Structure 1
Amino acid sequence: MIVNESVLSLGISLIALFFAGFLATKVNQSLTAVFIVVGMILQNFFPVTIITEFIATLGIIFMLFMFGLEFSVGSLVNNQRKIFFNGVYDLLFNFPLGMFLGWILGYDLIQTLLFAGIIYVTSSVIVAKSIIDLKRSANPETEYILNILIFEDMFIAAFLACIVGVVNYGHIDTKGMLLVMLKTAAFFLFFIILSRTAKKIIDKVVDIEHTELFIILILSIIVLSAGAASQIGLSEAIGAFLAGLLLSETRQRHRISEAIKPFQQFSTAIFFVTFGMSIDYKHAGSLIPIGIFIFVVSSFSKVFGGYFVGKKYALSKRACLRLGFSLIPRGEFSIILAGTIAMNTNVPYPVKSLTGVYVLLSAILGSILMKESDWFVKNFFESKGKEFQPLGRHSAKD
């Protein structure tokens, strides 16, 4: 009976997601924000069930796997200097700001670290999709945006592993933190060495013609990697990410992506709905003012940091500002950080609810700001006497 009710609630969730998502695509709006809102509405009709909770966990695992699959150890090594410096500038502008905001909100040390990660990390999904939709792939700033996103995803993956490990250890002290860092480093190193030294063997293993068996094998690699990470006290997500990194070096990379994408899209949608269902929207309403304040402050920080990175590489003012505006949207990783660890609710601003408000604002308004960045540059940052030219007429540095 419980299973039947769970299946029915899952069916209702899916049909609600379809209609809401269909409307969102018509107005060119972020699906992440829409799916969270659907979850907030559905909590009035039925609770989170064991099935939706399990699928939501798979959503995190598949999402991180697909991120890992997008990277290549070889390309990371070749572009490591540029990725590192672009990413570090972005980190220095935004992570300490999150720490400061967490401190003034009254969070303890672990909550403050988590909140800093939530504020810091840009949504790769929203930004990458927007770059494609807006036809900005050839823009001069796009390379630097992607470098920053790569660094952020790598940093947050390691950060997530560390923070989960620290919580599992029980408290923060030198011994506990060192143990977590060593385990995380060893886990990363194992997968990276495996991907570099056993590339031909892995290629042979995953080169299976039979589609059904191919999918089963890839799913087993993902789930086993996630389970192994969990067994040593790290997040399942980091295991999935490293499995993606491992398979990104194979000739079957594109086929793997096409095979896993439907699982990832389905389970990720349920993950966002489940997160929305965990938000006390009545309580969240009172968090809107503080959410707006944090959104404004963190958006200025992202724009200023992006502008600084652009100027370091001699981009035009217009390209620098487009770079900064492109880093505003927050989404999947912010929600993973807020939802992975059960937080103490006896604080003035519960992390989950505040993150829900913040992600909704940044996903919706951030997408709009990114889309209209040229309009903002023209009307607010450039002198009125200066002719504003379409993107197609810009110089190479524009």
Structure 2
Amino acid sequence: MIVNESVLSLGISLIALFLAGFLGAKINQSLVAIFIVVGIILQNFFPVTIITEFIAKLGIIFMLFMFGLEFSVGSLLNNKRKLFNTGMYDLLFNFPVGLVLGWFLGYGLLQSILLAGIIYVTSSVIVAKSIIDLRRSANPETEYILNVLIFEDMFIAVFLAFIIGIVNYGSMDAKGACFVMLKTSAFFLFFIILARTSKKFIEKIIDIEHTELFVILILSIIVLSAGAASRIG
């Protein structure tokens, strides 16, 4: 019975998303904001279940994967200085706003730092989806937007490691923060080395005639990588 209700609520939610998205596309609006509003409305009528949580996680994973396809590693390496300068401007202008706001609201130092991180970081998923929907991938300003997102993603990895170290140890313990940062760095380094050393092997694996098998392989790699990252922490 619970499974049937979950499937029914999921079906109704998908229909509602389609109708809202269809109308939004007719008036040339971004689907991201429309989907968020529909989700906020529907959560009052349908309970959150394991199925919906799982699908939501998959949606975020696949969106980040699509964002990665739009990004060029070569462009990053060739524009390291531009990436750093753009990211630093973004950090210096936005991060202090959260600190000041936290102080104004009477929060402590840790709470103010958390608020600053929330205000500073941009949602890569929403921005990437908006860029794709509006067909702005080839626009000159998109490069700067992607530079900001990349810098924010790298900063937030260090920021979260710092916060986790504080929460787990109850104080600003450098040991805990460094351990989390080392795990994160090792995880990314593994995939970088794998991509550089196993290019021919990977090309042979993905050279599959059957489209169905290719899709299953790609999905399994994406989900497995995300699961490994979640397990490592």
CA deviation string 1:227-267 (max 9, x = no partner): 2112222xxxxxxxxxxxxxxxxxxxxxxxxxxxxxxxxxx
Q: Cα 1:41–1:155, aligned 2, differ >3 Å: closer, same or farther?
A: same
**What letter is aligned with 2:127?**
S
* Deviation, structure 1 residue 6: 0.1
Tell me the residue number matched to 1:162.
Answer: 161
Spell out the pairing of 1:50-61 with structure 2 (5 A cutoff).
50-61=50-61
Structure 1: gaps of 5 or more residues: 234-398
Alignment check: 8 A CA contact 2:30 2:130 kept: no
**What letter is aligned with 1:192?**
I
Higher helix proportion: 2
* Deviation, structure 1 residue 10: 0.3
Tell me the residue number matched to 2:29.
Answer: 29
Alignment check: 8 A CA contact 2:30 2:134 kept: no
Spell out the pairing of 1:256-335 with structure 2 (5 A cutoff).
none
CA deviation string 1:370-391 (max 9, x = no partner): xxxxxxxxxxxxxxxxxxxxxx
Q: Cα 1:142–1:32, aligned 2, differ >3 Å: closer, same or farther?
A: closer
Q: Secondary structure at the match of 2:135?
A: helix
* Deviation, structure 1 residue 3: 0.3
CA deviation string 1:151-205 (max 9, x = no partner): 334444x258637854884645222111111111111222122222222222222
Spell out the pairing of 1:328-343 with structure 2 (5 A cutoff).
none
Alpha-carbon distance in structure 2 between the residues aligned to 1:33 and 1:210: 36
- Identity of matched residues, %: 71
* Deviation, structure 1 residue 24: 2.0
Tell me the residue number matched to 1:215.
Answer: 215
Q: Cα 1:159–1:65, aligned 2, differ >3 Å: closer, same or farther?
A: farther
Q: Cα 1:216–1:132, aligned 2, differ >3 Å: closer, same or farther?
A: closer
Q: Cα 1:222–1:142, aligned 2, differ >3 Å: closer, same or farther?
A: closer
Tell me the residue number matched to 1:47.
Answer: 47
Tell me the residue number matched to 2:119.
Answer: 119
Tell whether 2:139 aligns with 1:128: no
* Deviation, structure 1 residue 114: 4.3
CA deviation string 1:118-168 (max 9, x = no partner): 3223442265247636xx9555x4543343233334444x25863785488
Count of residue pairs brought into register by the alignment: 229
TM-score by length of 2: 0.82
**What letter is aligned with 1:60?**
I
Tell me the residue number matched to 2:152.
Answer: 152
* Deviation, structure 1 residue 83: 1.4
Alignment check: 8 A CA contact 2:162 2:177 kept: no
- Which of structures 1 and 2 has the larger relative contact order (alpha carbons within 8 angstroms, sep 6+)? 1
Alignment check: 8 A CA contact 1:86 1:144 kept: yes
Q: Secondary structure at the match of 1:209?
A: coil
Aligned residues: CA RMSD: 2.9
Spell out the pairing of 1:193-208 with structure 2 (5 A cutoff).
193-208=193-208
Q: Cα 1:117–1:230, aligned 2, differ >3 Å: closer, same or farther?
A: same
Alpha-carbon distance in structure 2 between the residues aligned to 1:207 and 1:114: 45
Tell me the residue number matched to 1:334.
Answer: none
TM-score by length of 1: 0.51
Tell me the residue number matched to 1:291.
Answer: none
Structure 2: gaps of 5 or more residues: none
Alignment check: 8 A CA contact 1:161 1:184 kept: no
Spell out the pairing of 1:57-206 with structure 2 (5 A cutoff).
57-106=57-106, 112-122=112-122, 123-125=126-128, 128-129=131-132, 132=135, 137-138=138-139, 141-156=141-156, 158-159=157-158, 162=161, 166=165, 169=168, 171=170, 172-206=172-206
Alpha-carbon distance in structure 1 between the residues aligned to 2:3 and 2:166: 32
**What letter is aligned with 2:104?**
I
Alignment check: 8 A CA contact 1:21 1:34 kept: yes
CA deviation string 1:16-57 (max 9, x = no partner): 111222222233333222222212222332211221111111
CA deviation string 1:212-231 (max 9, x = no partner): 11111111111211121122
Alpha-carbon distance in structure 1 between the residues aligned to 2:204 and 2:160: 30
Q: Secondary structure at the match of 1:132?
A: coil
**What letter is aligned with 2:65?**
F
Alignment check: 8 A CA contact 1:87 1:147 kept: yes
